Copies of this chain bind each other. A is one copy, B any other.
Amino acid sequence: MAITLTPQPLTQAVFAPFGDVIETQGSPHFAINAGFAERFQDLANIDVAADGGWPLISIFRGQPRPMPLRLTLMERHPLGTQAFFPLDDRDWIVVVAAGPDPRAPESVRAFRAGGRQGVNYARGTWHHPLIVLTPDHEFLVIDRGGDGANLEELPFDDAELVLEL
Contacts and interface: CB of A to CB of B under 8 A. Distances in A.
Contact of A57 (B38, B58, B64, B83): B83
B145 A142 contact: no
A50 interface: no
Given A43-B57, A46-B55, A65 B36 contact: yes
Q: How many copies does the complex hold?
A: 2
A163 interface: no
Interface residues of A, number: 48
Contact of A60 (B37, B89, B140): B37
Interface of A: 22-24, 27, 32-44, 46, 48-49, 54-65, 83, 85-89, 116, 118, 120, 129-130, 138, 140-142, 145
